[in-house]
Amino acid sequence: MARLRWFLLVLALALSLPVMADAPVFDRGHAAWTALLSKHVHWNAERTATRVDYDGFQHDRREPDAYLASLASVTPAQYQSWPWPDREALLINAYNAATVQLILTKYPDLASIKDLGGWFSSPWRQPFVILLGQTRSLDDIEQVLLRGAPEYRDPRAHFAVNCASLGCPALRDEAYVGSRLDGQLEDQARRFLRDRNRNRFDRADRRMLVSYIFDWYAVDFHRVGGVGGFLAGYADALGMTTAETADLRAGRIGIDYLPYDWSLNRSRP
């Protein structure tokens, strides 16, 4: 039954895409995706997290489908000719847009992206995204094309890829663009680390309480001084003193991981 359900889901996604001959020309500035995000993604009062208006996305369903069709028109040769920031921006945007598209296949009858999986399946491992000449899964985009790329060095990408969940870093209200990617990733990191629901320093117990992202992808943070070293670089966002930062960098402050909230990041009614 699980395989049949996923076959029908993939078929529905494929049929929802515009005919490729009519697909919009790809725009490296991702203006169409920015237009949708600015309309349907809303920051909280602290501007550390966002909620997504999936009802609005559903109403404008043809636009995200058309945007994904434009990404599908990019050939592997074109992609490889670009500098890494342009390629990374495409992959992050493709992941986020495809995740929204996946949520819409069952919305509003789901409470979490995990509701789209089953005992023997995962929403992240089912191929339904046409990208670079192949039908790919969300895991293919993140784990193979992004993290598996020789040029991949920057774990701040984990604050940009969005899993449609409250525990996840914010879905940004604009597309990622290669020419501005470094600044966008830095802004995402700082917003996420200022969110005390997901990352904080427990001064009484002298322990960092941070998102499970830092545990799941610890190997990526080892490239930049380890989880503690990375967090110490954002001590101001975490509200730490100079002495506390030095202790964190030296490994004298422990790190624990907070429970991850997989609830759908939908706008409140």
CA 183 to chain centre: 16
End position of a domain, from candidates 193, 216, 249: 193
Find tokens 């600044």 and name the residue.
183
Which residues are CB-contacts of 106 (< 8 A; sequence separation ≥ 6)? 115, 116
Q: Report the 3 state secondary structure along 66-85.
A: HHHHHHHCCCHHHHHHCCHH
* Closest of 190, 180, 179 to residue 156, by C-alpha: 190
Same domain, 150 and 221: no
Which pLDDT value is given to residue 117?
Answer: 78
**Alpha-carbon radius of gyration of the chain:** 19
206 φ/ψ sector (left φ>0, alpha ψ -120 to 50, else beta): left
Which pLDDT value is given to residue 20?
Answer: 41
pLDDT (tens digit, 9 = 90+) per residue, 213-240? 999 999 999 999 999 999 999 999 999 9
Number of residues in the chain: 269
In this prediction the pTM is 0.91
Residue 268 belongs to a domain: no
End position of a domain, from candidates 173, 193, 213: 193
- Residues 148, 159: Cα–Cα separation, whole Å: 17
Same domain, 172 and 63: yes
Find tokens 């529905």 and name the residue.
12
Same domain, 34 and 51: yes
- Residues 76, 211: Cα–Cα separation, whole Å: 35
What are the CA-CA distances from residue 3 to residues 14, 104, 126 (Å)?
Answer: 16, 19, 10
- Residues 225, 151: Cα–Cα separation, whole Å: 18
Which pLDDT value is given to residue 10?
Answer: 47
Query: H/E element holding 52?
Result: strand 50-52
- H and E: helices and strands count for the chain: 13, 7
- Residues 68, 16: Cα–Cα separation, whole Å: 11
Residue 152 belongs to a domain: yes
Same domain, 37 and 158: yes
257: exposed, middle or buried (C-beta count within 10 Å: 0-12, 13-18, 19+)? middle
pLDDT (tens digit, 9 = 90+) per residue, 79-93? 999 999 999 999 999
Q: Which residues pair with 255 in a beta bridge?
A: 208
Same domain, 189 and 237: no
Is the torsion defined by CA of 79, 85, 89, 95 positive or negative?
positive
Same domain, 129 and 239: no
One digit per residue, the tens of pLDDT, for the chain of length 269 reads 444 444 445 444 544 444 444 557 899 999 999 999 999 999 999 999 999 999 999 999 999 999 999 999 999 999 999 999 999 999 999 999 999 999 999 999 999 999 997 666 799 999 999 999 999 999 999 999 999 999 999 999 999 999 999 999 999 999 999 999 999 999 999 999 999 999 999 999 999 999 999 999 999 999 999 999 999 999 999 999 999 999 999 999 999 999 999 999 999 76
Domain carrying residue 219: 200-257
Same domain, 115 and 225: no
CA 230 to chain centre: 19
Is 151 within 8 Å of 157 (Cβ atoms)?
no
Residue 213 belongs to a domain: yes
Which pLDDT value is given to residue 139?
Answer: 97
